[in-house]
């Protein structure tokens, strides 16, 4: 039982971190100015960049 709980935690850790980064980026985009806007773009753009990297890395079957 413990092994399955640990596996779930590791599976959902990266998507949760990407989601938290996107939320932080959205918050910064609404409240920040200047450097905050740049950081917001980077944080929000993390999810599409991650998806593109995974799709490009996959081998065609």
Domain boundaries, the chain: 14-53
This prediction has a pTM of: 0.75
Distance CA 20, CA 18 (A): 5
For residue 54, pLDDT over 80 is answered with yes
For residue 5, pLDDT over 80 is answered with no
Long-range contacts of 49-57 (CB under 8 A, 24+ apart): 50/18
For residue 39, pLDDT over 80 is answered with yes
Percent of the chain with pLDDT over 90: 66
Helices (H), ranges, 1-61: 2-31, 35-44, 46-57
Q: What radius of gyration do the chain's Cα atoms show?
A: 15
Give the pLDDT of residue 10: 86
For residue 56, pLDDT over 70 is answered with yes
Average pLDDT over residues 40-52: 94
Distance CA 25, CA 31 (A): 10
């Amino acid at each position: 039982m413990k092994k399955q709980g640990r596996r779930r935690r590791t599976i959902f850790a990266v998507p949760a971190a990407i989601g938290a980064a996107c939320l932080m980026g959205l918050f910064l985009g609404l409240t920040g100015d200047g450097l905050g806007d740049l950081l917001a773009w980077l944080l929000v753009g993390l999810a599409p960049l991650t998806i593109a990297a995974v799709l490009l890395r996959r081998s065609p079957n």
